[in-house]
Amino acid sequence: MTESRVPDGREKTSISVLFVCMGNICRSPLAEGIFRDGLARAQLAELVTVDSAGTGNWHQGEAPDVRSVETAARHGIDISGQRARQLVSEDFDLFDMIFAMDRSNESTMRARAPSARHDRIFLFLDHTLGSRADVPDPYYGGVDGFEDVYQLLREGCTELVSRLGRELRQPSG
């Protein structure tokens, strides 16, 4: 266990994961909630630090978009307590895996991150499902878009939980 701390002051655990979209009110809070739920079901929650952020600061301090909250709730996940925050330079040191929801955010993060930290930045669907596609931004669409994004994130998060579970359960040395 590392002695460093994530932005909310908790100690860093075995693996730390950050989900990033543009404003941190639609995709990344959903991904965080889905991933946390998957970790809890797999009994891995104690081993993984999870957070989300946005490349922009327009919604800093706000709750997730009500459509994200309602979509998550329909699937038994409560993300209403999350608050948007902007990606900060310390995140590149604190998080082992930083997942961009789309190529635009991936590019923004690579431009902001020290080159030594580029190996921590991944396009979410590329890393989890092997698809160099973006998680579409449902913000300007209807409720169906949020459900579609939820399903896509759930599929990717399920694969990520499975992969991390195998890594965390392997005996060391």
Asked if the structure places residue 3 within a domain, the reply is no
Residue 4 lies in a domain: no
Query: From its phi and psi, is residue 17 left (phi > 0), alpha (psi between -120 and 50) or beta?
Result: beta
As a whole number of angstroms, the distance between CA 139 and CA 124 comes to: 18
- Indicate which residue of 37, 91, 102, 137 is catalytic: 137
User: 154 lies in a domain?
Assistant: yes
Give me the domain span that covers residue 108: 15-169
Residue 157 is a catalytic residue = no
Question: Is residue 163, in this structure, part of any structural domain at all?
Answer: yes
Residue 170 pLDDT level (bands cut at 50, 70, 90):
confident
Position with higher pLDDT, 36 vs 13: 36
| Helix, strand or coil, per DSSP, at residue 41 | helix
Which of 9-23, 74-88, 111-125, 146-160 is least confident?
A: 9-23
Instruction: Tell whether the model's pLDDT for residue 173 goes beyond 60.
Output: no
User: What is the C-alpha separation between 75 and 82, in angstroms, rounded?
Assistant: 17
CATH number of the domain where residue 146 is located: 3.40.50.2300
103 annotated active-site = no
Q: Residue 5: inside a domain, yes or no?
A: no
pLDDT (average), residues 9-35? 88
Q: How many domains does the chain have?
A: 1
Residue among 21, 65, 85, 154 flagged as catalytic: 21
What pLDDT, on the 0 to 100 scale, is given for residue 169?
81
Q: Is the pLDDT of residue 10 over 70?
A: no
| Residue 20 forms part of a structural domain | yes
Single out the catalytic residue among 27, 67, 85, 120.
27
For residue 135, being part of any structural domain is answered with yes
Task: Classify residue 43 as exposed, middle or buried by CB count within 10 Å of its CB (0-12, 13-18, 19+).
Answer: exposed
In a domain, residue 70? The reply is yes
37 tagged catalytic:
no
Instruction: Say what the pLDDT of residue 13 is.
Output: 56
